[in-house]
Amino acid sequence: MRLVDTHCHLTFGPMSDHLRPVLDRARKANVDRIIVPSYDLDSWNQVEHVTEFEGVFCAYGLHPWVADQPLSRADLERVLERDKVVAIGEIGLDYKIPKYDRRRQKEVLRTQLDVAVEKGLPVILHCRGAFDDLLDVLASYNGDVKGVLHAFSRGPQLAQRFIDQGLSLGFGGAITRPGAIRCHESAKVVPLDRIVLETDAPSIGLDGVEPADVEPKHVLDIAESLASARDTDMVDIAQTTTCNAEKIFGL
């Protein structure tokens, strides 16, 4: 059995201070490939650094929380030429924090989606409180944008709208919480060939695990919770979600 953590910030503390043991523990839990998205412009070099480890891949992009940073399309295209790049991310829209200008967020998102479509790269999308706008932006690309809406914890109707746009959904820590009703409803009905697994460590906790303690090894727990939500076995979940990640990101 092999598992992939399709979204993990190995460049953030506390993991970044002891990467080797974190990766060893992941491998023992059958998580042998990890995708590390970037965040702000400074993180682009940190992300490149962690790809020196076996099984670690990366994505470059500008997160909506730092949409005020000067994103140059040429700079983005240049870093995408580096080794072990599998996506553009994480990028998206976040309207939960009012200080971020919505127009600027959309402009930055579109620039990056343009590059993704042109280069045939998948995207890793972050979205909070902006689902209608994100779906509108995606629809304007007529199905040409491929990739994953990460940290999906919402209900089946919203899941279906993203699936209809050709995207897959990243399930993470939320599925381990018995109280995450909408997430469980989605986990039951979303076609398994549209699901990938992720921890988003160290940003999202698991049932009984604080966010700061989450590591890629916890993909195993997420896979177990997904298996029990879907009333299937781990082998099925592992095989299909790993195959999905390989296809989407060309691993």
Q: What residues line the site for Zn ion (CB under 5 A)?
A: 200
Give the shortest CB-39-to-Zn ion separation in angstroms: 7
Q: Which residue is nearest to Zn ion (CB)?
A: 200
CA distances from 166 to 135, 169, 220, 248 (A): 11, 10, 26, 11
- Give the nearer residue to Zn ion in terms of CB position, either 48 or 200: 200
CA distance 40 to 14: 18
What is each CA distance from 148 to 10, 127, 176, in whole angstroms?
Answer: 19, 11, 20
d(CA 190, CA 246): 19
The residue (of 169 and 235) whose beta carbon lies closer to Zn ion is 169
At closest approach, how far in Å is the CB of 232 from Zn ion?
27
Sequence-distant (6+) residues with CB within 8 A of 67 are 100, 101, 104, 105, 108
Other CB atoms within a 10 A radius of the CB of residue 61 amount to 32
Q: Give the nearest distance from C-beta 63 to Zn ion in angstroms.
A: 8
12/234 with CB nearer Zn ion? 12
Which neighbouring-strand residues pair with 126? 92
| Least spacing, CB of residue 150 vs Zn ion, in Å | 6
CB-wise, 200 or 221, nearer to Zn ion? 200
We find the least distance from the C-beta atom of residue 189 to Zn ion, in angstroms, to be: 25
Decide whether 37 or 244 has the Cβ nearer to Zn ion: 37
